[in-house]
Amino acid sequence: MKKKIVIALGGNALGNNLEEQMGAVKSTARAIVDLIEEGHDVVISHGNGPQVGMINLAMDALTKSNYKYSSIPMSVCVAMSQGYVGYDLQNALREELLNRNIDKSVATIVTQVEVDKDDKAFSNPTKPIGSFMTKDEAESLIAKGENVVEDSGRGYRRVVASPRPKSIIEIDTIRSLVDSGQVVIACGGGGIPVVKEGNHLKGASAVIDKDFASATLAKELDADFLIILTAVEKAAINYGKENEKWLDDVTVEEMTKYVEEGHFAPGSMKPKVEAGIEFASSKEGRYALITLLEKAKDGILGKTGTRIK
């Protein structure tokens, strides 16, 4: 049966650098077009860790080497990463669709995601980004009001907040495209974080977790499935231990208990499981699936992956 599916692509689907990304998007496009060929409507979101790191480094180098350029806000770096990843993905998807004689257009939406200016994350920035700095460089940034921390003995790094997404600004545009049968890439890198100031949207110095942004996107589009594609076929309890157990079908209640018991690592599996719980518990009949890219098709059929319902 035809489903509306939001697919969140993890680091594996995109590679770690320019060359890897060009190769990775080809197999990613094949897996996504497999689902389109089955008749499903798909909306794609993706992470941007390596890409935004690279852009941030390049921008830092520019401002350091040329006084004419002032520093580039994080929100702008996220916007650039959406364009860069979106371009490669939409190009690869278009080609794969044409190869299979499927008549569908593909577009990337530069997506802004509203965050709460009072989100507690802003008073406790935790996500290290960009290049390492010396103590002197760190002190001059701190004097400018930036948050900088010492990162595990390797030097100093800027840290930004990772607030929760509230709403997706371009949701009506995304919905119209999906409803007319087009393939949409949206909310890249968790979306460009913005804070509402009347009619103005102000870019925030933050990075939204792509797993949470994808859950918000799936809820706002009234999707049937949220598929989080990552580096493992399933989530596990007692991960890496002797009594490790890979999870298949799990209820929201069971999964919530496993989160509380600390089975999932913060910053990697935990946000995926929490995003899955958030989506699956939001309405009857919604499923979240965590699995590998090449297992997405089997996962929807209930053959593999961790399914939260």
Residues catalogued as catalytic: 11-12, 127, 210, 272
Applying CB under 6 A, which of residues 158, 263, 286, 307 lies at the interface with ligand ADP?
263
Minimal distance, residue 239 CB to ligand ADP, in Å: 3
Q: Interface residues for ligand ADP in 239-258 (CB under 6 A)?
A: 239
- The number of residues that bind ligand ADP (CB under 6 A) is 15
- Residue 265 interacting with ligand ADP (CB under 6 A): yes
Supply the DSSP string of 199-217, one letter for each residue. Answer: TEEEE-SB---HHHHHHHH
Residue type, 48: N
Cα distances (angstroms) measured from residue 75 to each of 154, 164, 172, 231: 25, 15, 22, 27
Q: Are 235 and 265 in contact (CB under 8 A)?
A: no
Q: Cβ closer to ligand ADP: 171 or 187? A: 187
Q: Name the minimum Å distance from CB 230 to ligand ADP.
A: 3
User: Which residue stretches of the chain are H helix?
Assistant: 18-37, 49-65, 74-99, 135-143, 171-179, 210-220, 252-260, 269-280, 296-300
Query: Which C-beta is closer to ligand ADP: that of 29 or that of 292?
Result: 292
Residue 265 Cβ, how far from ligand ADP at the closest point, in Å?
4
Under the binding rule (CB under 6 A), the answer on residue 47 touching ligand ADP is yes
Contact call for residue 235 and ligand ADP (CB under 6 A): yes
Is the separation of the CB atoms in 284 and 270 below 8 Å? no
Stretch that binds ligand ADP, among 89-97, 143-151, 180-188, 227-235 (CB under 6 A): 227-235
Is residue 269 a contact point for ligand ADP (CB under 6 A)?
A: yes
- Quick check: 230 binds ligand ADP (CB under 6 A)? yes
CA 235-12-159 angle, to 5 degrees, is 90
Q: Among 268, 294, 297, 298, which residue interacts with ligand ADP (rule: CB under 6 A)?
A: 268
Q: How far is the CB of 139 from ligand ADP (least distance, A)?
A: 32
> Contact between 44 and ligand ADP (CB under 6 A)?
no
Give the whole-angstrom CA distance, residue 198 versus residue 280. Answer: 33
Site string for ligand ADP, 88-117 (x = CB under 6 A): ------------------------------
Smallest separation, CB 240 to ligand ADP (Å):
8
64 Cβ neighbours under 8 A, 6+ residues apart:
none
Query: Which value, to the nearest 10 degrees, does the dihedral of the CA atoms of residues 267, 271, 273, 276 take?
Result: -160
Cβ proximity of 31 and 293 under 8 Å: yes
Does 287 help bind ligand ADP (rule: CB under 6 A)? no
CA-based nearest residue to 6, from 305, 249, 236, 288: 288
Stretch of 24-32, 64-72, 80-88, 234-242 contacting ligand ADP, by CB under 6 A: 234-242
| Calpha distance 139→144 (Å, rounded) | 9
Nearer to ligand ADP by Cβ, of 156 and 258: the residue is 258
**Nearest CA to 178 among 69, 44, 271?**
44
Q: How far apart are CA 21 and CA 50, in angstroms?
A: 10
With CB atoms as reference, the residue minimizing the distance to ligand ADP is: 10
Specify the residue, 48 or 75, whose C-beta has the smaller distance to ligand ADP: 48
Query: Cα 126 vs. chain centroid, distance in angstroms?
Result: 17
* Chain contacts with ligand ADP (rule: CB under 6 A): 10-12, 47, 230-232, 235-236, 239, 263-265, 268-269
